[in-house]
Amino acid sequence: MKMLKAPIKIPHASRPRRAASAPGLSQVGRAVDIRLTLEEEIESGKLFPGTILDEKALSERFGVSRTPVREALQQLSARELVTIQPHVGAHVARMSVTEIRAMLEYLSEIEGLCAKLAARRIDPVTRQALQEALVLCEQTDLETGEGYEQSNHAFHEAIYVGCHNIYLAQQIRKTRRLLRRYRSHEYRSPERIRRSIADHKLIAKAIIEGNETAAAQAMLDHLPSGTSGFSEFLAKLPAHFFDER
């Protein structure tokens, strides 16, 4: 795979949900507001990996000085969402193919463990949450995929809560957030959504029945960590999304 080293610059994204220059906001408050807006745009894929984050352009967009913008970028860097290079500037962080493979393998294993524990500790609350999430998934418009990311999140979140292991759930959520900008395309294909819903049904059935082994295996099969699944995953992403390491 041929990699491009230079970050790609794209037009500015939409205005933030809450104006960073709102009256009464301190410099710290403005920085947090900018960080939250950019964080959502990065994680959702609106600002794709490699996108240049120009301080001047951002300060004009948000109607603030460069100070809160610089602080927001520092906060995003600490969250591994932005890379800041001295004398070069900032851009949306890119990961190498090797890093993404490692993260997907890690995520598959800990999500499998999470499903196993949820099956072991199944209770009425988890059963209802899974059933309600499945209903939401099946209500998705397959042609547009609208709302499926939220439904998919609700399904997996029911399992994280149902495993009753706070530390494990935290690790999964953190890893998913880092990978989210590379996985947003998964919810745009009708066929991929159909497969995902079918997987969800198998996972939910195993958990509700208390079948730990089947629940763990169904979750492992659901995530794109295997050879064929990972190759298919990579094939749908542009080469410039990746860091050449």
pLDDT of residue 171: 96
Who's near 96: CB < 8 A, 6+ residues apart?
242, 243, 244, 245
How many angstroms separate the CA atoms of 152 and 137, rounded? 7
How many angstroms separate the CA atoms of 93 and 1, rounded? 19
Binning pLDDT at 50, 70 and 90, where does residue 4 land?
Answer: very low
Q: Does 41 have pLDDT greater than 80?
A: yes
Tell whether 67 and 184 lie within a shared domain: no
Domain for residue 12, yes or no?
no
* Mean pLDDT across the chain: 87
- Which helix or strand (DSSP H or E) is residue 89 part of? strand 89-92
> What percentage of the chain exceeds 70 in pLDDT?
88
CATH of the domain at 81: 1.10.10.10
Binning pLDDT at 50, 70 and 90, where does residue 197 land?
Answer: very high
Tell whether 161 and 111 lie within a shared domain: yes
pLDDT of residue 29: 87
Domain for residue 243, yes or no?
no
Domain for residue 142, yes or no?
yes
| Domain final position from 52, 72, 92 | 92
Residues 159 and 114 sit within 8 Å (Cβ to Cβ): yes
Residues 88 and 73 sit within 8 Å (Cβ to Cβ): no
Binning pLDDT at 50, 70 and 90, where does residue 223 land?
Answer: confident
Backbone torsions φ then ψ of 83, nearest 5 degrees: -110, 130
pLDDT of residue 25: 59
**Number of compact structural domains in the chain:** 2
pTM: 0.79
Cβ atoms within 10 Å, residue 3: 14
pLDDT tens track for 74-110: 999 999 999 999 988 999 999 998 999 899 999 999 9
Closest by alpha carbon to 165, among 204, 113, 223, 214?
113
Domain for residue 146, yes or no?
yes
**Mean pLDDT calculated for residue range 49-65:** 95
CATH of the domain at 122: 1.20.120.530
Tell whether 54 and 166 lie within a shared domain: no
Query: 67 lies in which domain range?
Result: 27-92
* Residue bearing the bigger pLDDT, 130 or 182: 130
